[in-house]
């Protein structure tokens, strides 16, 4: 007989629930630190043993020695990469998803999950301006979303082309500022990138057209990827211009809105997204700027049937999942995955509880913080704004500093717990970068960080 590990353990439950309560109540969440491999390994030594350990001891070890070696991306002082700021409702419901072993693979097994996830997807689809019949699924991250969408672009190319054949060596146009996951996805699916030079870091319709006209194999180009909010600088491509070219040349038009797509919720910048509604597919990551816990990316298709034809897995034991009823939606049919966590539910719960206006306001807060930070940088005598922010990412420099100065400053900020701000490269120059999305980041925090550059 297996031991007690499948029985309800009140003591362990109390311990973990108490730890969750404590974490949820932290205000603010501390930044915490990086870690040293040797020291962390030493803490873990001997833990995996035949007889197991007391839950209280393992939890204490985690809390005291491991959790403190994780830089908290949900701290309002975490301003690197793309931070996180999950709502309390989303975090709590994520716990419930885990406790219920909820999954969201198929209609047969999980209809209640699927309708709720699809309701959340429908909201995203409506903000994007997609038609009623659009649909998709939640995947683990933007990288998985881009990969799954581009596979559909590849495998449906023959249907879009006048001669009805797929090129043997297909290409997809991407910009030189596209996210690294786009290039990786093309590599995985065996499609070559046609890298189009951006105009001030923006992919434009005319640059795309010029590149296609000049390319000896332009007839092999089957799709184009635009970015709605580049990761480095928050720049939105010329979506309408790219959509025009995609229409003219029967290209699949995919938009990577992993970070910036959240700003579709923000009326103040909505006009910058004109043309978004013309995409064949797009992604937006709720685990970034839509305040969901990891891991949650939304992938939507204008015509989901095309994706279904590409992604559905056929196996004799799975035949039972596939009915003729279009209402019976299988999330597993819309991306490269089969079994999947019900990862859209925390977002669904939080949107239902907090209301969509709260999402609008929280996204607007990040945009407003970026605009104020740009002002603070310009006012501070020893800092300089690199360019006006378009969304919530702000690039700035400390004139006279070299790469090593930025690196040591960044390490100092973290060790003082003032902020987590890592440098990036902009047009060959090392600069500092703020990524704002946490609604609790304040002007005072930004001032404090800028003061350390003096
Ligand atoms: C524009 C863009 N696309 C794709 C990704 C990849 O997303 P993920 O890290 O969720 O795989 C990112 C991540 O920052 C991103 O900013």
Find the 379 Cα to ligand 1 centroid distance in Å.
Answer: 32
Band of residue 449 on the pLDDT scale cut at 50, 70, 90? very high
CA distance 257 to 199: 19
Express as a percent the part of the chain with pLDDT over 70: 99
Asked if residue 433 is part of any domain, the answer here is yes
Q: Name which of 291, 294, 296, 297 is nearest 359 in CA terms.
A: 291
**Where does a domain end: 333, 354, 375?**
354
- What's the pLDDT at 325? 83
Q: Is residue 2's pLDDT more than 80?
A: no
283 Cα: distance to centroid of ligand 1 (angstroms) = 9
Residue 90 falls inside a structural domain: no
Give the distance from CA 69 to its chain's centroid: 23
pLDDT in tens, 213-228: 999 999 999 999 999 9
Pocket mutation for ligand 1, best pick of 144, 202, 259 (most atoms within 8 Å of C-beta): 259
Q: Are residues 211 and 321 in the same domain?
A: yes
Residue 400 sits in the same domain as residue 329: no
pLDDT, mean of residues 83-92: 98
Mean of pLDDT values over 378-389: 98
- Provide the domain count of the chain: 3
What is the distance in A from the centroid of ligand 1 to the CA of 53?
Answer: 38
Query: What is the pLDDT, as a whole number, of residue 194?
Result: 98
- Given a cut of 80, whether residue 100 has pLDDT beyond it is yes
By most ligand atoms within 8 Å of CB, the mutation choice from 78, 80, 84, 143 for ligand 1 is: 143
**Beta carbons within 8 Å of 221's beta carbon, 6+ residues apart:** 170, 171, 172, 173, 194, 212, 215, 249, 251
Look at residues 354, 373, 390 and tell me which one is the last residue of a structural domain: 354
Do 18 and 111 lie in one domain? The reply is no
Both 65 and 129 in one domain: the answer is no
Q: Are residues 157 and 190 in the same domain?
A: yes
CA distances from 139 to 81, 147, 195, 412 (A): 20, 11, 26, 36
Q: How far is the CA of 171 from the centre of ligand 1 (A)?
A: 22
Cα 228 from Cα 272, distance rounded (Å): 9
pLDDT of residue 1: 54
On the CB side of 33, CA atoms within 13 Å amount to 13
The atom of ligand 1 lying closest to the CA of 230 is: 1
Q: Is the pLDDT of residue 3 over 70?
A: no
Residues 437, 335: one domain? no
Pocket (CB within 6 angstroms of ligand 1): 82, 141-143, 179, 181, 227, 231, 256, 258-259, 285, 297
What number does the ligand 1 atom closest to the CA of 287 have?
Answer: 10
Give the per-residue pLDDT at 362: 98
Supply the Cα-derived Rg of the chain in whole angstroms. Answer: 23
Mean pLDDT estimate for the chain: 97
In a domain, 262, yes or no: yes
Shared-domain flag, residues 168 and 180? yes
Percentages helix, strand, coil for the chain (3-state, rounded to 5) are: 50, 15, 40
Residue 324 is predicted with a pLDDT of 80
**Rounded CA separation 230/433 (Å):** 13
- Which range, of 46-50, 114-118, 326-330, 420-424, averages the lowest pLDDT? 326-330
Residue with CA nearest ligand 1 atom 16: 231
d(CA 94, CA 291): 12
Determine the pLDDT at residue 323: 80
Q: 10 Å Cβ neighbour count for 291? A: 29
Give CA separation, 342 vs 239, 331, 345, in Å: 31, 10, 6
In DSSP notation, 196-244 reads EPPBTTB--HHHHHHHHHH-TTGGGEEEEEEEBS-TTT-PBP-HHHHHH
The range of the structural domain enclosing residue 416 comes to 357-451
Pair (387, 350) in one structural domain: no
pLDDT in tens, 275-303: 999 999 999 999 999 999 999 999 999 99
3-state secondary structure of 429: strand
> Within a domain: residue 231?
yes
Q: How many CB atoms lie within 10 A of CB 59?
A: 17
Interatomic CA distance for residues 443 and 446, integer angstroms: 5
Q: Are residues 304 and 221 in the same domain?
A: yes
User: Is there a domain that residue 316 lies in?
Assistant: yes
Residue to probe by mutation, ligand 1, list 186, 258, 261, most atoms within 8 Å of CB: 258
76-90, 322-336, 371-385, 434-448 — which is least confidently predicted?
322-336
Closest CA relative to residue 261, chosen from 285, 240, 238, 231: 285
Same domain, residue pair 195 and 72:
no
The structure tokens 């994780």 sit at 70
Please report the beta strands in 208-331, taking only residues with DSSP state E, as ranges in sequence order.
221-227, 252-256, 281-284, 297-301
Contact predicate 250/160, CB 8 Å: yes
Tell me, what's the pLDDT at 185? 98
Q: Kindly report the CA angle at 234 between 233 and 240, in degrees rounded to 5?
A: 125
Indicate the residue among 305, 325, 354 that finishes a domain.
354
Instruction: Name the residue with the closest Cα to ligand 1, atom 6.
Output: 142
Name, in order, each residue with C-beta under 8 angstroms of 69's C-beta and a sequence gap of 6 or more: 32, 33, 34, 35, 40
Residue 392 is predicted with a pLDDT of 98
Nearest ligand 1 atom, CA 178: 1
Pairing assessment for the beta strands 297-301 and 135-139 based on DSSP bridges: antiparallel
Choose among 121, 51, 159, 146: nearest CA to 347.
121
Evaluate whether residue 339 is within a structural domain.
Answer: yes
Instruction: Identify whether the C-beta of residue 126 lies closer than 8 Å to the C-beta of residue 284.
Output: no
Kindly state the tokens that stand for 155. Answer: 């495998």
Can you list the alpha helix ranges (DSSP code H) found in 45-141? Answer: 55-61, 88-99, 107-128
Tokens 């003032």 locate to 418
Q: In terms of domains, do 167 and 34 share one? A: no
CATH number at residue 410: 3.90.1150.170
The answer to whether residue 94 is domain-embedded is no
Q: Identify whether residues 409 and 365 lie together within a single domain.
A: yes
Residue 130's domain is classified under what CATH number? 3.40.640.10
What was the pLDDT predicted at 326?
78
* Tens of pLDDT, residues 397-417: 999 999 999 999 999 999 999
Decide if 152 is inside a domain.
Answer: yes
């Amino acid at each position: 007989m297996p031991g007690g590990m499948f029985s309800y353990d009140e003591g362990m439950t109390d311990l973990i629930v108490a730890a969750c309560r404590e974490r949820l109540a932290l205000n603010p969440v501390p930044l915490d630190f990086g870690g040293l491999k040797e020291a962390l390994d030493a803490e873990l030594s001997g833990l995996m043993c035949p007889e197991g350990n007391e839950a209280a001891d393992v939890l204490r070890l985690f809390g005291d020695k491991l959790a403190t070696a994780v830089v908290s991306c949900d701290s309002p002082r975490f301003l690197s990469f793309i931070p996180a700021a999950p709502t309390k409702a989303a975090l709590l419901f994520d716990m419930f998803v885990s406790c219920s072993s909820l999954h969201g693979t198929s209609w047969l097994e999980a209809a209640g999950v699927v309708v709720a996830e699809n309701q959340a997807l429908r909201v995203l689809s409506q903000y994007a301006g997609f038609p009623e019949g659009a649909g998709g699924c939640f995947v683990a991250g933007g990288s998985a979303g881009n990969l799954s969408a581009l596979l559909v672009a590849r495998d449906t190319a023959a249907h879009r082309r006048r001669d009805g054949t797929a090129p043997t060596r297909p290409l997809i146009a991407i910009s030189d500022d596209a996210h690294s996951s786009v290039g990786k996805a093309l590599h995985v699916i065996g499609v070559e990138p046609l890298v189009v030079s951006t105009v001030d870091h923006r992919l434009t319709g005319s640059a795309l057209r010029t590149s296609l006209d000049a390319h000896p194999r332009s007839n092999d180009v089957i799709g184009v990827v635009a970015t709605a909010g580049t990761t480095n600088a928050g720049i939105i491509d010329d979506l309408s211009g790219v959509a025009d070219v995609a229409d003219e040349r029967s290209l699949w038009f995919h938009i990577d809105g992993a970070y910036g797509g959240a700003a579709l919720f923000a009326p103040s910048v909505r006009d910058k997204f004109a043309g978004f509604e013309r995409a064949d597919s797009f992604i937006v990551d709720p685990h970034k700027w839509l305040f969901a816990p990891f891991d949650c990316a939304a992938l939507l298709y204008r015509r989901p049937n095309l994706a279904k034809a590409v992604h559905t897995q056929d196996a004799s034991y799975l035949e039972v999942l596939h009915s003729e009823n279009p209402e019976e939606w299988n999330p597993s049919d819309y991306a490269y995955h089969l079994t999947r966590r019900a990862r859209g539910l925390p977002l669904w719960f939080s949107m239902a509880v907090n209301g969509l206006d709260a999402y609008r306001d929280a996204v607007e807060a990040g945009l407003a913080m970026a605009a104020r930070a740009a002002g603070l940088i310009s006012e501070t005598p020893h800092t300089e704004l690199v360019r006006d922010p378009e969304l919530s990412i702000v690039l700035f420099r400390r004139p006279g500093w070299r790469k090593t100065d930025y690196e040591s400053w960044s390490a100092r900020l973290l060790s003082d717990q003032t902020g987590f701000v890592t440098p990036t490269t902009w047009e060959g120059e090392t600069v500092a970068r703020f990524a704002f999305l946490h609604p609790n980041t304040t002007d005072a925090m930004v001032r404090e960080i800028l003061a350390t550059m003096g």
